[in-house]
Structure 1
Amino acid sequence: MKRNPILITILLFISLYCGLVAAQLPFSLDQYKKMLEKRAGATEPSGRVKQYRTPQIYETPGTTFVAPQKNYVETELLYVDTLPYFDEPIVIDGDTVQIIRKATPSHLKRFGADFFNNIPSIETAQLPVSDKYVIGSGDKLILNLWGSLNAQYELTVDRRGSIYIPQVGDVAVGGLTLSSAESTVKKALSANYKNFSSSLTLGQVKSVRVFVVGQVKFPGIYDLPGISRVMTALAAAGGPDSVGSYRNIAIFRGEKKIATFDLYHFINEGHSSGNIQLATGDVIFVPHYSILVKLRGMVKTPAEYELLQNETIKDVLNFAGGLLPEGNEKEIFIDRVTDGFHHSLTINLSDSNQVKTKLHDGDDISVFSVNPFREKIVFLEGYVPQPGAYGWFDGMRISDLFESDNALFDDTYMKRLDILRKIDRGKRKILYASLEKALAGDSLENLKLMPQDRIIVYSALKFVDEEFVYIQGAVRKPGKYPLYKNMRLSDIIFEAGGFKMNAFLDSAEVVRILEGETTQKFNVPIGKIFTNPSIAENIELKKDDFIFVREIPDWKTMKSVTILGEVNFPGTYALLSDEETLSHILKRAGGLTQDAFLDGAVFVRPMISKQINRQNIVRVIRNTQELTRDTLGQIDTTSLIFFWEPNELNKMILDLSRIISGEDDIIMEDGDTIFIPQTPDGVSIVGAVGSNGTVKYKKGQNIKYYINRAGGLTRNADDDAIRLVKPNGKVYKVGLRCKNVGPGDVVVVPQRVKKEKDVLATFKDLMVILSGLATTVYVILKL
């Protein structure tokens, strides 16, 4: 941007001229401004405000006091009591000699401890200050004056407790409350000024340094806001610790005890007595508690309570908020230890003397529930909308239980209800009545009820047999179905999901039992019935009717087989006929690849295991095994000598090379799978050898060659039971010199079975035989 020298020169000249004019004026610019405002109609204030300055407390963020966070850990476990009591065993020398039953909760917290768990931050600039606040050194006061004198002063209380007011002098305010200080300052101003008003407020509070000692979580020296009270200091120190007193907290100023603070009165009643404002140098001392008792059971606030000397059981119950409605005030159990011995006593609060019972340190008080047994009550049970307990009254009858409109279901059995009535020794007798007649007002049937009666109402369905019909064959969901009123053949077909594709719709068979004696069979045009339910053949079904929908003979479904591995086109192929063979499937798959290993072909037929399961071969084997008789003469079956899974029999052993050459073949079935692997180049060795593994195949070598390459036989190897497993699944028993080894073979070397000999058992049996023989000889010689 290009500067214009002419314009700059003109601006400098104007500025210089204005300065010269202002210098010639007989008054200041501010006075000239006020004169112009006065000419324009502005009102001049009655006086000028002196020394106005916004107090610093409103210009800067307020002081924040946060209770110190220190590493004080109190382990708190979560206990859940499932019963209203727990049993405390008394164990002596490892034996339980007594069991003391106490009320729950089994684990208690110290009353008042939660008060210090959540200490908020304190913004001192936002805290209200009462008129009773005691002014001290370091406080900043704001004095506002208006009327004949307009002024605002920010005044700091010095170490002598005085403030300096211009044209007035020092005024002593230290130790005065805020309201008293305001009166003192106004009196001092009145000596020099008249016709004015004033107000004195606290601008910024001083800080006080106090000492919190004794049994607190974090004893130490604390700098607190000047408006702090005893509770503030206790909160800063984390509150009393596990053995600290909540009831007898002492505050010392100098050498004098000036107050005692009781936290229980503060928590329960809101009394602030003893919660005094603190001053610098104050000492808050928390001693050990004197008496701590446990209060459990049916009270509003179960906890551990601290008591003062001469306080009674009534006092601790007041701290807990009193008993719950179900609390038994006549049998309060106290477990006590005095002079090194355990004692137990029972208190009756309705006794004016016992209610004054003093408590001892360590007392464990249990308030149990009153007897939960309800005497004047009856129980309505069974098929009713609202079963449960009902209050009994004198003259109560059956009809009194069913006065509401919805007291019974529509299908309630009205001809009878049962009453089970208590008699001697907890037994009951049975009474019955007609519910229908009782509700109609029949006095003979509307029986009087007695306390503890059980009235049982029944459903009409209880006395009706469930009725079913059955459908099997070519339907989607064959099975048993409930028989409904007016149910017909078309309905049961619909319930069964309709027909399968191979269903023979011209005729279905219905079998019916007549009067439980004879059986009737007839055929129905099931297809017409389903498409036109209005025809007469759509008969109504009766109980236990059996419908059988036939399948169309020779109905063909799609069947498939899977061929995987070393063929040119592996995949799943649909069978073209029931006589299609494996060789034909191999041709459809494009034949074998060059890497096909024929001896390792695996053929799986799932139908085999299904057939085995139908034949229940496992049961046949178990029934043909050896039986033994134990020493008690009981017959015991030994475990199976071998165990197998039927699915293991799905694998068929075949010679694929003979099938390829046309010498042999196998007809394929639905679900068959054949896998043709690549030609391997190794022989696997497993079992009792130095190292299981695979050895590279070498033509012409025997079994011993491959075993030696695998580390040789172990000490426990049984070289007389070696098995050679061929890739197609064939197994041969071989010796070490066998050379019938090919690629992909597995050599299995089993361990030798050791026969353990029980010498003592053998000797015992021998002695029994010899003893029997000697007895026989002795008898013969005596003849």
Structure 2
Amino acid sequence: MSKFLLRAAALTLAATSSIAAAQEVSARADEMFGQELTSSVAAATPAAARRVSISNTTAAQAQASQAAAPSIPAAPAANAAQARPQTEFQKFIFDSVGQELPIFGASFFANAPSTFAPILNSPVPSEYVLGPGDELLIRGWGTIDIDFRATIDRNGTISIPTIGSVVLAGVKAGDADGVIRSAVAKLYKGVTISVNFGQLRAITVYVVGQASRPGTYTVSSLSTLVTALFASGGPNANGSMRRVQVKRAGRVVTELDLYAFIAKGDKSADVKLQDGDSIYIPPAAGYVALVGKVNSPAVYELKTGSDTIESMLDFAGGTPVVADPRRAFLERIDPTRNRPRSVEQFALDSASLKRPLKDGDVLNITSITPEFSNAVILRGNVDQPVRAPFSAGMRVSDLIPSRDYLITRASVKRQNEVVSTGQTERVTNQRADTIAASVGNLIDEVNWDYAVVERINRSDLSVTLIPFNLGNVFANPTGADNIQLQPGDTVTVFSQQDVAVPMDKRRVMVRIEGEVKVPGVYQMSAGDTLQSLLAKAGGPTVNAYLFGTAFHRETVRREQEVNLEKAARRLEAQINKEQSLALANQQGLTTVNPQMLEAQQRAQAALARQKIEQFRQLKPTGRIAFNLDPKERSFSRLPQIKLENGDRLVVPAAPAFVHVFGAVNVESSSLWKPNARVKDYLNTAGVTADADIDQAFVIRADGSVVSRESGGWMFGSVGGLEVMPGDSVVVPEKFDRETKWTKFMKGTREWAQIFANFGLGAAAIKTLRD
């Protein structure tokens, strides 16, 4: 069936009120020939479908009549922005600046909804001119009751029973009450008239030129140029947004600049459409691109030769505050030259803003450099880093007016935490350690001997360091250390932890506890030793146990922590290697059950991982072994170790027990007996059949380890060593059992030395065996 036959069939069905059939034919036409036929049928359908009753109706009947009226078919919505192909100029911009720029205003038409359906509930403007197809709801009361729905016919009139014909074509909506009231008053007096409007007539307009979806459109008679453009998807990729015209009766009624509407909301050129209007979208006159620091980077259309940088930036929303008005670059295309592209630089002053733009121009506005030309910076061990304004004659003392500026936020936080910790009701070991550790460490010590000014030489961009004595700045403000600053200088203050100062200049806060007369935290002088600390603490008590005295240092603890992890990795690699060798050897045996072998290997691997993980969980204490004679009683024999900040000396009371671990029947802590030997405690605990007595070792109360290889056994026998209070005897299992534990414990000398070096003690052995 041809397009014309389908059109004729649809129009005939619409004229005879066969609405459903007309819509079915319209749908078929849509599939075959697109939207144009649907729009034509829609124009004919409303007039033919609406029937004017010649009798009064109730409100319910009126609503039913309105609901039965067919809707004008709606065109499918389309995403104009996504469907819009890139222009050649957009592709050129992408190749030039590496950025995809949209055409300004194209997004306004994205996801445009259908506006073809009749407007039923919108208010009718008083200036609206009535015409054929408009529907009126007339109500009157008084000497006669009127409840009548009427539609203006082709002659421009309505016919009210008992009243007669009333001419309404050309009458404004605001005057309709008066016209009908006058007609009724000729026959009846004292009648009040109220006129409302039902469904308004539809009009046909034509969208032509460079439109996204050109064609014939049936829209509401209240539609304007902007709403019709919105319905049609707006201009296509090459269409103009700045010179959209409405043509009526052979002349241009208006020309709309969509930029003025989109960017500024100016609808002064928008007009109401009339039946038969043509909307013409001409090709765009040219394009320019605004890139860089503009509020809306995009491709902008030129309207005339008078478009300037200022007018285009106005549409773009101007420039952000970070735009540099001193530097703008204009790239221009001139095909008449040997080199068609050129670039020039200028400032965005009033004269430059008036410069006209040409088709193909690219305006690039750069960002300001985030550098302060009149500022100096203070950073480092200070209250807070600041950027302060520079003033002539400014010195370091102006930037740091008092020592209070050198109290860091971390120091203040520690002070506040001390208060919150002190308010805790329950006293725990953790709280006690926190309080004791905080004494003397509430403030980060400042390096008063060295601070530095960094200065940039603008001539060659080199950096010069100017060190100065910060303490002298406060002690002697007129001295040379109070350096005169320059714009752009950076002053850095260091703490004693940032740049380590000599031992003699460091703060020394040490902690002594246990069996001394006055335990506490003491501030020591440079060069003070353990004897000096004991003297400040009043000396040891009568219960003090010299051999078990423990000395802990934080720097040693950190080193032990690193070495412990290295040992764990070495052990892990060793066990993995032994497992691989054992698996290879067992797989060579034909009598080995593969499933049993695999299960055994999994169990051994799990046990090895467990032991290694336990090993990693051990926490080094930072203890330093003194290696004193176990029978030494004089504290004057302590080594002359110079104290460091954070050192801790613990003088215990003489313990009453000796601990036995390993391959013994009963792991226990036995009472210490004078002159008792290792064999005495092993006899008490009872060794197992798997015990390897030759590889047993003793962890001393002072943190040292004595083993067979260290020469501590008398005549190579375990029975010859005298055990001191607090010692721990460890008996490993024999090697021939080849369990993961025995493999782990192989090489008593190596592992005993590890325990001694890390200060792990007997608790580590107990943890690894559990």
Q: Specify the TM-score bucket, using the shorter chain as the normaliser.
A: 0.5 to 0.7
1:109-132 alpha-carbon deviations (Å, 9 max, x no partner): 111111111324557334343323
The alpha-carbon distance between structure 1 residues 454 and 484, as it changes in their structure 2 partners (threshold 3 A), is closer
CA RMSD of aligned residues (A): 4.5
- Equivalent residue, structure 1, for 2:175: 180
Task: Classify the secondary structure of the residue corresponding to 1:450.
Answer: coil
Task: Tell me how many residue pairs correspond in the alignment.
Answer: 464
- Aligned with residue 246 of structure 2, among 245, 251, 255: 251
- Aligned with residue 219 of structure 2, among 220, 224, 227: 224
Largest Rg, 1 or 2: 1
The alpha-carbon distance between structure 1 residues 426 and 271, as it changes in their structure 2 partners (threshold 3 A), is closer
Give the number of the structure whose residues are more often helix, by fraction. 2
- Equivalent residue, structure 1, for 2:275: 280
Task: Classify the secondary structure of the residue corresponding to 1:419.
Answer: strand
- Equivalent residue, structure 2, for 1:709: none
- Equivalent residue, structure 2, for 1:56: 63
Q: Does 1:442 align with 2:477?
A: yes
Contact 2:204/2:276 (CA < 8 Å) preserved in 1?
yes
* Range with greater deviation from structure 2 (453-462 or 266-275): 266-275
1:21-67 alpha-carbon deviations (Å, 9 max, x no partner): xxxxxxxxxxxxxxxxxxxxxxxxxxxx9543443378629958755
Which residue identity is paired with 2:208?
V
Q: Does 1:317 align with 2:313?
A: yes
Write the distance in 2 (CA, Å) between the matches of 1:278 and 1:402.
Answer: 73
Q: Does 1:463 align with 2:500?
A: yes
- Equivalent residue, structure 1, for 2:76: 68
Contact 2:662/2:731 (CA < 8 Å) preserved in 1?
no
- Equivalent residue, structure 1, for 2:452: 418
Q: Does 1:333 align with 2:333?
A: no
Which residue identity is paired with 1:333?
F
Contact 1:178/1:201 (CA < 8 Å) preserved in 2?
no
Q: CA offset at residue 258 of structure 1?
A: 1.8
Q: CA offset at residue 318 of structure 1?
A: 0.9
TM-score in terms of structure 1 length: 0.51
Q: CA offset at residue 307 of structure 1?
A: 2.2
TM-score in terms of structure 2 length: 0.52
Q: CA offset at residue 557 of structure 1?
A: 8.7
The alpha-carbon distance between structure 1 residues 169 and 344, as it changes in their structure 2 partners (threshold 3 A), is farther
The alpha-carbon distance between structure 1 residues 154 and 358, as it changes in their structure 2 partners (threshold 3 A), is same
Write the distance in 1 (CA, Å) between the matches of 2:301 and 2:154.
Answer: 42
Task: Classify the secondary structure of the residue corresponding to 1:463.
Answer: coil
Give the number of the structure whose residues are more often strand, by fraction. 1
Question: Whose relative contact order is higher, 1 or 2, with alpha carbons under 8 Å and at least 6 apart?
Answer: 2
The alpha-carbon distance between structure 1 residues 345 and 164, as it changes in their structure 2 partners (threshold 3 A), is farther
- Equivalent residue, structure 1, for 2:375: 377
Write the distance in 2 (CA, Å) between the matches of 1:112 and 1:263.
Answer: 8
Which residue identity is paired with 2:452?
D
Task: Classify the secondary structure of the residue corresponding to 2:159.
Answer: strand
Task: Classify the secondary structure of the residue corresponding to 1:266.
Answer: helix
Q: CA offset at residue 265 of structure 1?
A: 1.5
- Equivalent residue, structure 2, for 1:307: 302
1:582-626 alpha-carbon deviations (Å, 9 max, x no partner): xxxxxxxxxxxxxxxxxxxxxxxx99xx99xx9xxxxxxxxxxxx
Write the distance in 2 (CA, Å) between the matches of 1:275 and 1:335.
Answer: 35
1:171-225 alpha-carbon deviations (Å, 9 max, x no partner): 3333443213334333433433433433322211222222111112111122223
- Structure 2 stretches lacking a partner, 5+ long: 1-54, 87-91, 409-442, 504-553, 568-613, 624-643, 653-658, 664-695, 706-720, 751-770
- Structure 1 stretches lacking a partner, 5+ long: 1-48, 79-86, 91-99, 492-497, 513-522, 529-548, 562-573, 579-605, 615-783
Q: CA offset at residue 142 of structure 1?
A: 1.4
Q: CA offset at residue 138 of structure 1?
A: 1.3
- Once the two structures are superposed, the pairs formed by residues 75-224 of structure 1 within 5 Å of their partners are 106-120=99-113, 124-224=119-219
- Once the two structures are superposed, the pairs formed by residues 192-591 of structure 1 within 5 Å of their partners are 192-309=187-304, 310-340=306-336, 341-352=340-351, 354-384=352-382, 386-387=384-385, 389-402=387-400, 408-409=407-408, 410-415=443-448, 416-423=450-457, 425-438=460-473, 442-444=477-479, 445-461=481-497, 462-463=499-500, 467-469=555-557, 470=560, 477=618, 481=622, 485=646, 487=648, 507-508=700-701, 510=703, 528=726, 552-555=730-733, 559=737
Write the distance in 1 (CA, Å) between the matches of 2:107 and 2:171.
Answer: 36
Contact 1:210/1:222 (CA < 8 Å) preserved in 2?
yes
Write the distance in 1 (CA, Å) between the matches of 2:368 and 2:127.
Answer: 51
Q: CA offset at residue 433 of structure 1?
A: 3.5
Which residue identity is paired with 1:60?
A
Write the distance in 1 (CA, Å) between the matches of 2:353 and 2:268.
Answer: 28
Seq. identity, %: 28
- Equivalent residue, structure 2, for 1:716: none
The alpha-carbon distance between structure 1 residues 458 and 51, as it changes in their structure 2 partners (threshold 3 A), is same
The alpha-carbon distance between structure 1 residues 142 and 395, as it changes in their structure 2 partners (threshold 3 A), is farther
* Range with greater deviation from structure 2 (396-405 or 256-265): 396-405
Which residue identity is paired with 1:463?
A
Write the distance in 2 (CA, Å) between the matches of 1:499 and 1:198.
Answer: 114
Task: Classify the secondary structure of the residue corresponding to 2:125.
Answer: coil
Write the distance in 1 (CA, Å) between the matches of 2:68 and 2:401.
Answer: 72
Q: CA offset at residue 108 of structure 1?
A: 0.9
The alpha-carbon distance between structure 1 residues 201 and 481, as it changes in their structure 2 partners (threshold 3 A), is farther
Contact 1:67/1:237 (CA < 8 Å) preserved in 2?
no
The alpha-carbon distance between structure 1 residues 418 and 346, as it changes in their structure 2 partners (threshold 3 A), is closer
